[in-house]
Amino acid sequence: MLTTDIAFYMGWLGHYVADAAMPLHDSIHHDDCVGDNPKGYTRDPNIHGRFESEFVDLIATTESNLTKYVPREARYLDNAWRLR
């Protein structure tokens, strides 16, 4: 089903775009603070999972939430690199 595919790829792409901005992915502290902890950061080993799963699940987006933003007719792009 096209809407399911769109939702899947939007989520997949969104995940990797968000990963680029996720401080936990750029640090040795991706699952909790390792070593000295002078600023008192969390030592919760589940902190990464909460950002990756629990927060996303709380949004509870469904297919019907997305279809209103997807045009019914495909649009042909003369030049895919030109946005307008």
The per-residue pLDDT for range 22-37, each reduced to its tens digit, is 766 667 766 666 778 7
29-79 pLDDT tens trace: 666 667 787 788 777 878 777 777 887 788 888 888 888 888 888 777 788
Q: How far is CA 48 from CA 3, 17, 31, 72, in A?
A: 29, 16, 5, 37
Residue 53: phi and psi, rounded to 5, are -125, -60
Residue 62 lies in a domain: yes
**Distance (Å, rounded) from C-alpha 48 to C-alpha 26?**
12
Q: 20: domain range?
A: 2-34+41-67
Total domains, the chain: 1
Which pLDDT score, from 0 to 100, does residue 29 have?
66
Which pLDDT score, from 0 to 100, does residue 79 have?
82
Residue 8 lies in a domain: yes
**Tokens, residue 5:** 């595919």
Residue 79 lies in a domain: no
CB of 79 closer than 8 Å to CB of 50: no
The reported pTM is 0.38
Residue 76 lies in a domain: no
